[in-house]
Amino acid sequence: MWEQILVNGLISGGKYALLAMGFALIYGVARIMNLSHTAYYMLAAYLIYYLNQSLAVPLPLAYLLAILVVLVIGVTTYHYLVAPVREQFTAVLIVTLVMAIVVQEIIFIFFGGHFRSLPPLIPGTTTLAGIKITYQHLLTLATVLVTLTGIWLLLFKTRLGIAIRAMAMDREVANLMGMPESRIALVTVAISVGLAAISGAMVAPLLILDPLMWMHPLVVVMAAVILGGLGSIKGSILGAFILAFAEIMLVFTLPKLAYLRGSVSMAVMLAVLLIRPEGLFGIFMEGER
């Protein structure tokens, strides 16, 4: 049982970590609380299903096309729907929530409320340190590790990363230094949406697809970001894995209460807000290394 808890916890934590990192990035740079973030995660999974099962597109190509399409959709909707109201916090919440519901309803129209599933990108299983694990699980874990490492290097080893961090810490100073704030925000949105799409693509063969699958991850991601410190990258990643393992522990040790797994994140989020509102690491990228 503990082996399964470890494997499932790492997979679930990796999924939440990619989503939480994207959520934290866009909040840190553009101060946008994007409630449609996990809708892109769901959209990527369904696009892969449609391309592969309905149009007979080979699965590797379906993955690539789905991620690219979601990236274009995310950047376009930001430019035309979110950017004009981004300085109005309440308006952003309403617009992004409506966007998520629109995606949900489109999926209901095209796919109905039926559960769907995808074949693994790499079939087969292997034994690793005495743990039986599928190649799809290994691929997902490797993708999460490479993606998280790549984003970390981008933020701390490139000029773009320096600009993103500067914009997150003080937009006015960054503007005075000649950094194009709107362009950096757009690039950050693209990174955020890309992370959501990659997360959805990697776990699509491991999950049952349904049009409401964006709701639970959104709650967990918000709780993880608040737990880690609103806008903190390393805090968001740590918070994601903490909540993922808490959920998996509940499911495996108390299966009759598995339906309460969403309550775990809500309880953690409320406790953090009451006890330590700044979270584990506080302000975005302040001293992060």
Average pLDDT over residues 99-118: 93
- Where along the chain do its domains lie? 2-212
- Over pLDDT 90: what percentage of the chain? 48
Closest C-alpha to 224, from 264, 168, 274, 196: 264
- Residue 285, pLDDT > 70, answer no
Q: Which of 26-30, 62-66, 169-173, 233-237 has the lowest mean pLDDT?
A: 169-173
For residue 156, what pLDDT band results from cuts at 50, 70 and 90?
confident
* Greater model confidence, 156 or 75: 75
Q: Is the dihedral of CA 128, 131, 134, 139 positive or negative?
A: negative
pLDDT at position 289? 46
- Residue 268, pLDDT > 90, answer no
- Residue 71, pLDDT > 60, answer yes
Cα distance from N-terminal residue to C-terminal residue, the chain: 35
* Greater model confidence, 253 or 21: 21
Average pLDDT over residues 98-103: 96
State the burial class of residue 87 (Cβ atoms within 10 Å of its Cβ: 0-12, 13-18, 19+): exposed
